[in-house]
């Protein structure tokens, strides 16, 4: 919060919002209450980066919104195992959506690998 980050709880990602050129504009979310969607309660949050941490379920439709992200026959997002980068160089994935559901330590390791790869990619620019 000291860095200006807002934490918005009880929100379910719905779709990535892009302009006509495909540039990222925002993330549409639906408000939730007691793990249920609040009817008609949608908002678009302006963003310049989307880091998906979606928990136990696979939202393959959301992954498909990022061109170049492949999903295997079992619905798992395909990544480079060393970096957790997908076929889209701007999209990284880990945890249950990659391995089908294992221990939290596996997801944490994916997060670490992805963070190091993102840092290296930003530093190279």
**pLDDT classification of 41: cutoffs 50, 70, 90:** very high
Whole-structure pTM value: 0.56
CB atoms within 10 A of CB 101: 14
Report percent pLDDT > 90 for the chain.
41
Mean pLDDT of the chain: 86
**pLDDT classification of 50: cutoffs 50, 70, 90:** confident
**pLDDT classification of 1: cutoffs 50, 70, 90:** low
- Contact of 26 with 46, CB cutoff 8 Å: yes
CB atoms within 10 A of CB 85: 19
Give the pLDDT of residue 8: 85
Which positions ≥6 away from 53 have C-beta within 8 Å? 95
Which positions ≥6 away from 81 have C-beta within 8 Å? none
Stretch (H or E) spanning 118: helix 104-123
Q: Spell out the domains of the chain, with CATH numbers in brackets.
A: 1-50 (no CATH), 51-125 (3.50.50.60)
User: Which residue has better confidence, 109 or 2?
Assistant: 109
- Phi, psi angles (nearest 5°) of residue 3: -95, 5
């Amino acid at each position: 919060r000291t860095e200006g980050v807002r934490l918005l709880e009880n929100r379910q990602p719905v779709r990535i919002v892009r302009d006509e050129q495909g540039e990222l504009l925002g993330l549409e979310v639906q408000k939730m209450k007691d793990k249920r969607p609040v009817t008609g309660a949608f908002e678009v949050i302006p963003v310049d980066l989307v880091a998906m941490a979606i928990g136990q379920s696979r939202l393959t439709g959301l992954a498909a919104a990022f061109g170049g992200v492949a999903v295997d026959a079992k619905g798992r997002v395909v990544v480079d195992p060393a970096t957790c980068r997908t076929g889209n160089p701007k999209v990284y994935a880990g945890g249950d959506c990659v391995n089908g559901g294992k221990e939290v330590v596996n997801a944490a390791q994916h997060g670490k690998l992805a963070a190091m790869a993102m840092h290296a990619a930003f530093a190279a620019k």
